Amino acid sequence: MPSFDIVSEVEMHEVRNAVDQANREVNQRFDFKDTGAKFNLEGSEITLVSQSDFQLQQMLDILRQKLARRKVDVGCLDPAEPEVTGREARQRMTVRQGVDTELAREIVKSIKGAKMKVQASIQGDRVRVSGKKRDDLQNAIGLVKDKGYELPLQYINFRD
């Protein structure tokens, strides 16, 4: 029985490379000279450190540009509110991976609500869709793409 999986995965190696490139650019730019601005990557969390909120916004633009060049979807970033103290401004960005249960339920509900001849089930951090015909599965992919979920989704493991 043909099936495929709906997942949300990010290559952390590419994220690390993009953060390293962004750090290099911040160190070389004149407007960031002697400000102590830097990016830190720990696990799946990126921390931006700078002197002001304005510089944080500039750093965020640099990071998004570097991620886009490395073909990492910037929709996977979940920014927290900037924390501005006397001398320092920080902002944490979480790199989201996997389909959370709430979004998975929403995907399954939309597929079942479309009365398609496919079955959708939640399996951990992915959604498995199976059906008898390949065309039905392709219609299900089209349906999920048209919904336009905020998290970047990939369609993998397409089996006949």
The per-residue pLDDT for range 115-132, each reduced to its tens digit, is 889 999 999 889 999 999
- Rounded CA-CA distance 158/7 in Å is 12
Tokens of 149: 């979920």
Domains recognised in the chain with CATH numbers: 3-8+98-159 (3.30.70.860), 12-95 (3.30.70.990)
Give the pLDDT band of residue 69 (cuts 50, 70, 90). very high
pLDDT value of residue 65: 95
Tokens of 41: 């990557």
The H-or-E segment that residue 89 falls in is strand 89-95
pTM: 0.83
Tokens of 67: 């991620």
pLDDT value of residue 13: 95
Tokens of 132: 């008898």
Helix, coil or strand: residue 80: coil
Average pLDDT over residues 76-84: 91
C-beta separation of 49 from 58 below 8 A = no
pLDDT value of residue 1: 83
High-pLDDT (> 90) share of the chain, %: 55
The mean pLDDT of the chain is 91
pLDDT value of residue 148: 84
pLDDT value of residue 56: 92
- pLDDT exceeds cutoff 90 at 26: yes
- pLDDT exceeds cutoff 80 at 160: no
Residue 125: how many CB atoms within 10 A of its CB? Answer: 14
Give the pLDDT band of residue 33 (cuts 50, 70, 90). confident
pLDDT value of residue 124: 87
**Dihedral angle sign, alpha carbons of residues 17, 20, 22, 25:** negative
